[in-house]
Amino acid sequence: MYAIVEIAGQQFKIEKEQQIFVHRLDAKEGSKVDFDKVLLLNDAGKINVGAPVITGAKVTAKVLEHLKDDKVIVFKKKRRKGYKVKNGHRQYLTKLEIQNIDAKAPAAKKPAVEAAAKKPATKKAPAKTTAVKKPVAKKAPAKKTAAKKAE
């Protein structure tokens, strides 16, 4: 069984007892966190895709530790221009261990459909039509040729 879950703005394909690194979460080491943004579930070939998420499904994970990723060097250079910039970055991460993937099926919506079918058909009032205003043509400004001739 595997699932695709959105954790801290990223999507991960996870399985039970898998360890993953995600962007730093606000949780203490050793605590459990639940993620309910389950986008897809695959249970022995039976695929359930959410629209956009699967209601009732959740993933439980345990926070193992908080750490920093390896340093990434960003180096920019333009040839023959004397331009060099060196910059570095270390991302803060959280190491998680997936403990449980809970795949509760969404509740059936048949009673709501049957209730809608039993309602008597009502006639709708005719839609009101509104008059469309025509654009008014603007007059061109009067020519000032007479004033020029007087000068």
Split at pLDDT 50, 70, 90, the class of 133 is: confident
Of 111 and 25, the structure prediction assigns the larger pLDDT to: 25
pLDDT in tens, 58-113: 999 999 999 999 999 999 999 999 999 999 999 999 999 999 999 875 454 555 45
C-alpha torsion angle, residues 89, 91, 92, 93 (rounded to 10): -160
Decide the pairing of beta strands 2-7 and 10-15: antiparallel
Report yes or no: 9 and 23 within 8 Å, Cβ to Cβ: yes
Q: Is residue 38 predicted with pLDDT exceeding 60?
A: yes
In this structure, the number of other CB atoms found within 10 A of the CB of residue 102 comes to 14
SS3 128: coil
When the pLDDT of each residue in the chain is averaged and rounded to a whole number, the result is 85
pTM, rounded to two decimals: 0.62
Domain boundaries, the chain: 2-107
Q: Is residue 148 predicted with pLDDT exceeding 70?
A: no
Q: What per-residue confidence (pLDDT) applies to 136?
A: 73
Q: Is residue 128 predicted with pLDDT exceeding 80?
A: no
| CA–CA distance, 10 with 8 (Å, rounded to integer) | 6
